[in-house]
Structure formats: structure tokens, C-alpha cells
Amino acid sequence: DTGVSQDPRHKITKRGQNVTFRCDPISEHNRLYWYRQTLGQGPEFLTYFQNEAQLEKSRLLSDRFSAERPKGSFSTLEIQRTEQGDSAMYLCASSRDVYTGETQYFGPGTRLLVL
């Protein structure tokens, strides 16, 4: 079973630039989640998809953030006009949609540094 993959693993950008991250979930998983983790903190929920539908967005997700999951497969997270405060690890997770409380399996993350 191939795990969750994320690309790129690291991204350095200048303030004001746009960046896009990709997440490929475990193939049979219908649910896909994005989390953000800053230094010394636990991951915080950003948004989630059930198949191609984005069902919830956290208040952490400002208007500069947009996520998509076309065709219910891979997902992209775009940050426009990046700010230094966006520097963080962006984690993607996927799970089945059979029972409540299904285990989420995480990818290796994309570490973003905004200069």
C-alpha cells in the first residue's frame, strides 16, 4: 500500500510570491485533510475534502489560501501573496470514509519558508 505523498518536501520563497503544494492520498481513501504545523506546536486543521467536495474550512484559512481536489484524487493547496507568517510545515492526511473516527494517515509534509 503506497502511503500519502506530498510534493515538494521543501519550498523557499520570497514574500509576495505564490506557492502551490500537492498531496496524493492513499488510493482508496475518500477523505483528504490539510493541516498546518508551526514550530513547537501540534498540527492545526485547515480544511478537508470528501471526494472532490471541500466540506469545511478553518478560520485559519485566509482568503489567500485555496485548496482543490479535482476528481477526488490528488489535492493542491495554493497560498497567494505569501507572508512570513505562512512559514510552517503543511501536512496532508487521508482516511477512509467508512466509520466515524477513521484513522488519518499523514504524508511527509511540505516545509515552507517565506523570506
Partner 1 sequence: AQKVTQAQTEISVVEKEDVTLDCVYETRDTTYYLFWYKQPPSGELVFLIRRNSFDEQNEISGRYSWNFQKSTSSFNFTITASQVVDSAVYFCALSENAYGNNRLAFGKGNQVVVIP
Contact between 21 and 6 under an 8 Å Cβ cutoff? The reply is yes
Extract the C-alpha cell encoding 54.
471541500
Toward partner 1, which CB reaches closer, 38 or 73? Answer: 38
Question: In this chain, which of 31, 52, 76, 87 binds partner 1, going by CB under 8 A?
Answer: 31
- 8 A C-beta contact, residue 22 and residue 73: no
Piece in contact with partner 1 (CB under 8 A), picked from 13-21, 59-67, 74-82, 87-95: 87-95
Instruction: Write the DSSP symbol of residue 102.
Output: P
Q: Which is nearer to partner 1, 80 or 102 (CB)?
A: 102
**CA 105 to mean position of chain CA atoms:** 12
Q: Is 106 in the site for partner 1 (CB under 8 A)?
A: yes
43 counts as binding partner 1 under rule CB under 8 A: yes
Interaction pattern, residues 44-83, with partner 1; x per rule: CB under 8 A: xx--x------xx---------------------------
How far apart (Å, rounded) are the C-alpha atoms in residues 9 and 101?
28
Q: What share of the chain is helix, strand, coil (3-state, %, to 5)?
A: 5, 50, 45
In this chain, which of 109, 112, 113, 114 binds partner 1, going by CB under 8 A? 109
